[in-house]
Amino acid sequence: MAKVFIYPATSLILSDLVARFGHQPLGSAISIREHIQTPGFDSPPIQMTPDDPQKGLKWAAVEVPSGIRGRMSLYGPLVEEAEAAIIIDEPDLAFGCMGCARTNELLAFMLREKEIPRLELRYPASKEEGVTFVAAIKEFLKNLEVQQ
Partner 1 sequence: MKPYVPQYVGTITKYVFVDSPDTTPQDIATAAYEIAQGVMIKETCFGCQITGSPEDVERIIAHLRKLDPYRIYVKDRGFPPGDARRCRADLGGARPGYLGHEYEMGLVRYIAYGLQETDRMTPEELKAAAGQEMSMPKALDIDILESLMKEE
Indicate whether 22 belongs to the interface with partner 1 (CB under 8 A). Answer: no
Please state the closest distance from residue 104 (CB atom) to partner 1, in A. Answer: 13
51 binding partner 1? (CB under 8 A):
no
User: CB of residue 13 vs partner 1: minimum separation in angstroms?
Assistant: 5
Per CB under 8 A, which of residues 59..98 are in contact with partner 1? Answer: 92-93, 95-96, 98
List Cα–Cα distances, 141 to 16, 29, 95, 98, 109, in angstroms: 13, 21, 27, 24, 22
Helical (H) or strand (E) element with 74: helix 66-81
Q: Which stretch binds partner 1 (CB under 8 A): 21-29, 53-61, 77-85, 100-108?
A: 21-29
Q: How far apart are the first and last CA of the chain?
A: 8
Q: Comparing C-alpha atoms, which of 148, 3, 143, 1 is closest to residue 85?
A: 3
- By the rule CB under 8 A, 12 interacts with partner 1: yes
Binding of partner 1 by 11 (CB under 8 A): yes
For 81, residues 6+ apart whose C-beta sits below 8 A from its C-beta are 3, 26
Which residue number, 13 or 57, has a Cβ lying nearer to partner 1? 13
**Residue 63 CB, nearest approach to partner 1 (Å):** 26
Which residues 6+ apart lie within 8 Å of 99 measured at CB?
none
Give residues in contact with partner 1 (CB under 8 A): 8, 10-13, 15-17, 19, 25, 27-33, 35-47, 92-93, 95-96, 98-99, 121-127, 129-136, 138-140
